[in-house]
């Protein structure tokens, strides 16, 4: 597999017949829109599709975890103890139950 290949949206539209060859040669393509990354394409086949999708799901999960950790750090919540976290969860659940009771939903 070669280096990462960049294609603009315009090139992608005009080179649709060549995409398979480009992916075969390079393995991956970054699609740009106005010079900025907009999409990522990766070569797969019927034998690697499920594994590739699972890898992608793992990446998405790790990114979400990283974002949550960053938000916690920014909001001063990253140093909470387990007891403090459990107390927040319990308070949130109580509040939700009270709202449901007021709304007549059980």
State pLDDT tens for residues 53-76.
999 999 999 999 999 999 999 998
Q: Would strands 28-33 and 36-42 be described as parallel, antiparallel, or unpaired? A: antiparallel
CB neighbourhood size of 29 (10 A):
20
Residues 6+ apart with CB under 8 A from 35: 8
On the question of pLDDT at 106 being above 70, the answer is no
**Spatial contact of 48 and 66, defined as CB atoms under 8 Å apart:** no
Tokens for 105?
Answer: 């939903």
Tell me if residue 44 falls in helix, strand or coil: coil
């Amino acid at each position: 597999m070669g280096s990462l290949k960049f294609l603009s949206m315009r090139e992608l539209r005009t080179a649709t017949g060549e995409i398979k060859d480009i992916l075969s040669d390079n393995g991956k393509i970054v699609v740009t829109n106005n010079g900025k990354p907009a999409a990522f394409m990766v070569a797969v086949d019927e034998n690697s599709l499920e594994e590739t999708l699972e890898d992608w799901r793992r990446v998405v999960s790790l990114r979400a975890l990283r974002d949550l950790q960053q938000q916690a750090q920014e909001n001063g919540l990253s140093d909470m103890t387990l007891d403090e976290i459990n107390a927040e969860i319990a308070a949130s659940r109580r509040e939700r139950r009270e709202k449901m009771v007021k709304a007549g939903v059980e």
